[in-house]
Amino acid sequence: MVVSPNSQRAPRSAAIPSIRDVAAAAGVSYQTVSRVLNDSPRVRSETRTAVLGAIERLGFRPSRAARALSLGRARGITVVTSNTVLYGYAATLQGIEEAARAEGMAMGIRVVESAEPAEVKQTVDYVSDASAGGVVVIAFDPMGTAVLEALPEHVPAVAAAEPAAPDRGRVAIALDERRAAADATEHLLALGHRTVHHVATPSEGRSSGRQAGWRDALERAGVEVPEVLSCGWDIGSAYAAGQWLSTQARTTAILCGNDDIAQGVRRALYDAGKDVPGDVSIVGFDDIPGSAYWTPALTTVRMDFAGLGQACYRAAVAELTGQAQPVPVLVPPSLVLRESTAPPPSA
């Protein structure tokens, strides 16, 4: 009639071993095991060996959840991004992931789809939780920026991309998009084009690096700065932008906000009977894997997203552990010349 007096929550037998089981097996206290796990110098090497043996024998793995609770913050990284599929975002994500995995760190992802206060707040709450660990905010766009600004100071976070307003001493790491865009624009001008049109991604503000670099180059050359065409992330809207540009007889060179946009623009020009690069030259941005195999192969700017991700990971861990900031070394963007650019028809 009486219930078993020892009815624990889990069957104590086949349970996952804890630090105390290891301690018992090694004949030491749980604290000593903890010290071994954290490489404390205060352990006799003999004792250490015994503990490590017990760990091996029992197949013990420290609980990330318990650590996070005790430490106040998880030893891991959460990435906040507005997108996981677009190349720039995905490649940065991959860079972070590889760096994290190499060090045995956990990684989580949280997407912010809009910059609306409610969603930004949810995201901030999410990463404010102890189990989020260090935070990397991919702030290529308004969504990321909004999160960055709303983040409480006590959350260890870094930004990928330059902050619009230098943000309360938050570490920010960025690729030199301004220089990259200027290089691409100058390449087109050097080929003899009168000016260069620009089709921008939704992530670009007027002060964004890509747009600023393009404008810089045009102004330095003293040529007309055409109005920027904005389009969405979907290639369909890039196609529409391309259609419009193909009606403008004076358009001979286009700098596209990314390679996907270049693809849509190129097809629109094709459908309008314009040859690339014979009639119009096109430059993309990002160097996505397929762009070398298009017809024509795309001239574009290669960006070191993987390096950016890696640098962000390191900075986030430094922020999390309170250690000194190593200076990140990023590969500068480079213009990759292929088949989609040539002198304008008249030249």
Partner DNA sequence: CGCCTGAGTGTGAACGGTCACATGGCCAAG
Partner DNA sequence: CTTGGCCATGTGACCGTTCACACTCAGGCG
Q: Which residues bind a second copy (CB under 8 A)?
A: 9-10, 16, 61, 63-66, 68-69, 72, 74, 84-85, 90-91, 93-94, 97-98, 101, 104, 106-111, 122, 125-126, 128-131, 234-235, 239, 260, 263-264, 266-267, 270, 289-290, 292-295, 297
Is residue 296 helix, strand or coil? coil
Whole-number Å distance between alpha carbons of 239 and 263: 8
Q: Which lies closer to DNA via its Cβ, residue 127 or residue 159? A: 127
CB of 147 to a second copy, least distance (A): 14
* CA-based end-to-end distance of the chain: 100
Contact partner at residue 206 from DNA, a second copy, none, CB < 5 to 8 Å by partner kind: none
Quick one: tokens of 213?
A: 């670099």
**126 binds, options a second copy, DNA, none, Cβ within 5 to 8 A by partner type:** a second copy
Rounded CA separation 13/115 (Å):
50
Residue 272: partners with Cβ closer than 8 Å, 6 or more residues away = 242, 243, 246, 247
29 makes contact, choosing from a second copy, DNA, none, with CB < 5 to 8 Å by partner type, with DNA
* Joined tokens for residue 249: 């007889």
Which of DNA, a second copy, none is residue 90 near (CB under 5 to 8 Å by kind)?
a second copy
Which value, to the nearest 10 degrees, does the dihedral of the CA atoms of residues 66, 69, 75, 76 take? 100
Between 30 and 244, CB nearer to DNA? 30
205/163 Cα distance (integer angstroms): 12
Q: Tell me how far, at minimum, the Cβ of 79 lies from a second copy, in Å.
A: 9
Q: Closest approach of Cβ 222 to a second copy, in Å?
A: 35
CA distance 78 to 90: 14
Residue type, 55: I
Provide the minimum distance between the beta carbon of 13 and a second copy in the complex, in angstroms, as a whole number.
13
Decide which of a second copy, DNA, none touches 60; Cβ closer than 5 to 8 Å per partner kind: DNA
Partner whose binding site includes residue 244, from DNA, a second copy, none (CB under 5 to 8 Å by kind): none
CA distance 271 to 280: 13
CB of 306 to DNA, least distance (A): 31
